[in-house]
Amino acid sequence: MLPPLADLLDAARVVSLPMRTRFRGIDTREALLLRGPEGWSEFSPFVEYDDAESANWLRAAVEFGWEQPPGLLRSSVRVNATVPAVPASAVAGVLERFPGCRTAKVKVADPGQHLADDVARVAAVREALGPEGRVRVDANGLWNVDEAEHALNALAPFDLEYAEQPCATVGELAELRERTGRYLDIPIAADESVRKASDPLAVARAGAADLLVIKAQPLGGIRQALSIVAEAGLPVVISSALDTSVGIAMGAHLAAAVPGLEFDCGLGTASLLAADVTGDPLVPWDGSIPVRRVEVDGGLLERHAASAGRRDWWLARLARTYAVLAG
């Protein structure tokens, strides 16, 4: 059951947090925070998402703030470093913000850049992590099949753990996997084909991916995500959506409830923020983050409060999205 909308609006706090490096095309991350009986929760669909797509994010926020999470199988979660589409010369500085991480996810296919930029960035990450490090790349679906095959051939010498969403559609992923499976040992991971799909299991049924990237907010919360994991029957990486530490806590509780978690998770992204909503943020230490709820700092909420116009925009969005769920 949804809490009354008036209660959500009264509890809502909207923040605008600066990024250390431009990431996903943004320099600041806006989020709406809610406090329920179980603690703080987060509603932070990206601003371009419509109300129907944002409904899952609100469902997840209500679940985490108003319901107890499932039983936990671990008290900490190993996480990867996340390397934005920075010049190769900036890679070492980025990795310093992820102490102890043995795995790095590297953004590639960034608009306005070239494959040579991606190769140089991945090479710098491989050099920094050494031969035992794990390097994965994420193209956010921006290559077509031919471009993806060409790029993976160029990046194969750096011993990729996997390539995340190299193409946009399930059909393209299946074709790429069939092509490269003949001669390249680079697994294919699906992200957008899970979290933005009307049927998040379609990519698994089509045999279009070797593993799935699972995010709590976009999939409607921890329980719904666990159901998808169980039904898909594929290995998973639990990741974040550039959340504050409150949203990271939701992802950590999901990761802690997944049986047989094989891969380091994409839950270290609070390190990409130049500010957070808590004095004890969920950032990596010794390659892991703890599984715990986050207590929000009122002073930080005030310091990083969004402008009145942006606050009103988010409150109106909350009301519209609530109407989608209630309907």
Consult the annotation and say whether 138 binds a ligand. Answer: yes
Determine whether 196 is an active site residue: no
Catalytic option among 107, 195, 253, 311: 107
Write down the H helix ranges in the chain. 5-11, 51-66, 91-95, 115-129, 145-155, 170-180, 192-195, 202-205, 222-232, 245-257, 298-303, 308-326
- Model confidence over 220-261: pLDDT tens digits? 999 999 999 999 999 999 999 899 999 999 999 999 999 999
Strand partners, 40: 35
Residue 1, pLDDT above cutoff 90: no
Structure-token pair, residue 305 = 């409060």
Spans of all domains in the chain: 5-69+304-326, 76-290
- What is the homologous superfamily of the domain 76-290 according to CATH? Enolase-like C-terminal domain (3.20.20.120)
How far apart, in whole angstroms, are the C-alpha atoms of residue 183 and residue 25? 34
3-class state of residue 223 by DSSP:
helix
- pTM, whole model, 2 decimals? 0.96
Four-residue CA torsion sign, 46, 172, 163, 76: positive
Nearest Cα neighbor of 217 from 67, 44, 29 is: 44
Q: Is 191 annotated as a binding residue?
A: yes
Residues 6+ positions from 105 with CB-CB distance below 8 Å = 80, 81, 82, 83, 136, 137, 138, 164, 266
Query: pLDDT per residue over 193-230, tens digit each?
Result: 999 999 999 999 999 999 999 999 999 999 999 999 99
Q: Which CATH number fits domain 5-69+304-326: 3.30.390.10, 3.40.50.2000, 2.40.390.10, 2.60.40.1260?
A: 3.30.390.10
164 among the known binding-site residues? yes
Catalytic residue among 13, 105, 215, 293: 215
pLDDT per residue as tens digits for the range 93-122: 999 999 999 999 999 999 999 999 999 999
Catalytic, 105? Answer: no
Which region holds residue 168: left if phi is over 0, alpha if psi is between -120 and 50, else beta?
alpha
For residue 253, the tally of other CB atoms under 10 A from its CB is 20
Nearest CA-CA partner of 64 in 321, 209, 247: 247
